[in-house]
Amino acid sequence: MAFLLERAREPSYRVSAFRTAAAVVDGLGEDQLDLKIRTNTLKDLKGVGPKTAAVIVQAHKGQVPEYLTKLEQDLAELVPMADDVAEFRAALKGDLHLHSDWSDGGSPIREMAEAAIALGHEYMALTDHSPRLTVANGLSPQRLEEQLDVVAALNEELAPFRILTGIECDINVDGSLDQTDELLGRLDVVVASVHSDLRADSTAMTARMLTAVANPHTDVLGHCTGRLVIGRRQRNGEQKPRPESTFDAEAVFSACVEFGTAVEINSRPERLDPPRRLLTLANELGCEFSIDTDAHAPGQLDWQYNGVERAIECGVDPERVINTKAADDLLAWTAG
């Protein structure tokens, strides 16, 4: 089951089903699994349906599951990956915006790290939410300090892979960042994002973003327009599509160049933020970028392809993307 998760670029809900089934099967002994297969009772197990049961039986026999073979054939025919997209994606050494179950993600930190390793990443930045975003179980200063200890221990186990310490920090209405300066100074990566008052007038939103971009702790400006092109489900219910926030994009992106803040190319299918016209503008003004998934589950870490495709469409050079840097070079950049 594990190799299926690594090879299949499935929609996240299907990956979740396979992951659930794999966890159930992993809890069985060999004799128990053999008995379930012989008696055709795999489907009696919670989380195992007809499709996953067939995959389990074929994998247990040492065969490549028919479902995986068909899936790979279909994907090869329907979504061939252009050489330029594959080459650009291969240049990305990590993901600088993702969430764990410490805030509003669905999986433990270790699972997110293991998924990143399976994709060939050298590092990932763990950027759970800051305390103001209570709806996303944002981390208080105390919880963030606890998380830093957990990350340190995991880094010893998972080396040479590195979990970079980080946060997705709310940009408050006055442009300040929603965490203490002392803690922000200890983190490897700070993604600053607007999550509230998204319909503020352009003048107020511009001033708010300019203040955040100029903050020496800010490394990446996250999903800058806040738009949702399609609705989405969250733990607290449905979110409807919403338009872009309005702000002086030329002023904000020019400030990003001045203060060395990267503009995020957010790869979530419902965000794809910034829109192409703004991404093209940011590129023309000389911004640096970070292509991130904003993943809330392991299967979503593969969404970087969305951001890569948009970067190529808008003429972004891989050398201007900060997560093409090796970890030490990236940390020197964020520290600088």
Exposure string over 251-273, b if 16+ CB within 10 A, otherwise e? ebbbbbeeeebbbbbbbbeebbb
Q: Under a CB-based contact definition with an 8 Å cutoff, are residues 314 and 280 in contact?
A: yes
What is the pLDDT at residue 34? 80
* More confident position, 66 or 144: 144
Residue 245 confidence class, pLDDT cut points 50, 70, 90: very high
Mean pLDDT across 274-301: 97
pLDDT of 36 over the 90 cut: no
Mean of per-residue pLDDT scores for the chain: 88
pLDDT at position 189 is 98
Beta strands in the chain (DSSP E): 94-98, 123-126, 162-170, 189-193, 220-221, 232-234, 237-239, 262-266, 289-292
Average pLDDT on 3-11 reads 41
pLDDT at position 257 = 98
Shortest CA distance to 296 belongs to which of 169, 171, 190, 168? 168
Q: What is the pLDDT of residue 32?
A: 82
Residue listed under structure tokens 């590129």: 283
Q: Which 3 state secondary structure label does DSSP give 118?
A: helix
pLDDT in tens, 98-123: 999 999 999 999 999 999 999 999 99
Tell me the average pLDDT across 225-252.
82
Give the pair of three-digit tokens for residue 219.
Answer: 């490394």
Q: What is the CATH number of domain 81-335?
A: 3.20.20.140
120 sits in the region (left: phi over 0; alpha: psi -120 to 50; else beta) called left
Work out whether the CA dihedral 64, 114, 74, 12 comes out positive or negative: positive
Q: Give tens-digit pLDDT for 8-18.
A: 444 444 455 66
85 vs 23: which has the higher pLDDT? 85
Render pLDDT for 201-235 as a digit per residue (tens, 0 to 9). Answer: 999 999 999 999 999 999 999 999 999 987 656 55
Whether pLDDT at 2 is above 80: no
Better-predicted residue by pLDDT, 67 or 112: 112
pLDDT at 45: 84
Tell me whether strands 237-239 and 289-292 are parallel, antiparallel or unpaired: unpaired
More confident residue, 12 or 179: 179
Write out the two tokens for 186. 């200890």
Domain assignments of the chain as residue spans, ordered by start: 1-76, 81-335
